[in-house]
Amino acid sequence: MGDPAARTFLITGGVRSGKSWYAEQLVAGLTGPVSYVATGPQPGPDDPEWSARIAEHRSRRPADWSTVETLDLATTLVNAPGPVLIDCFGTWLTAVIDELDGWDRPVLQWKPDFDLRFARVLTAWRSSSRPIVAVSNEVGWGVVPAYRSGRVFADLLGEVNRSIADVSDRLVLMVAGRPLVIPDERQ
């Protein structure tokens, strides 16, 4: 993982920038049983493109990694027996908003429930002694989305990314397949 003092990593970037591949390379060099936390929805029969993406991710995982399909990231971080790879916060956020029926309800009605759930994730992230590598998407670098759902997603993912980066040892931005380690200038 490069720096032996680094235990937690957030890997972010655009679509198809190499985030997942890079995260997998970081975790592959670690000892202990790896828990690959897949947060994305299962593909339906009418979405062959999503099925192909999932198949590609699965094909890269070593056979000895265990796959955990869950939205309960906090419990997984607490109970995992070894290193954890979360892929990804963008699909996790989408599924949590779905679960909270947040796409069609005012944000103020469901955001407190989201905030509690995410606070548990942050607490588990901070208190874990095992290596954690998480993948997330960078959104919002362009035009503000024209639709409410896009704005809600971009705003919340920005909050998630900022909060996870704040408690991570390393932040890596993937650009066209190349990792850029972002220095922590807050110190």
For residue 84, give the nearest of 34, 19, 145 by alpha carbon: 34
What's the order of all strands across the beta sheet hosting 8-13? 66-69, 35-38, 84-87, 132-137, 8-13, 170-175, 178-182
| Catalytic residue chosen out of the listed positions 19, 57, 61, 170 | 57
Calpha distance 184→129 (Å, rounded): 21
**Residues near 163 by beta carbon (within 8 Å), at least 6 away in sequence:** 118, 122
Q: Is 57 a catalytic residue?
A: yes
Phi, psi of 174, rounded to the nearest 5 degrees: -90, 130
| Residues that are catalytic | 57
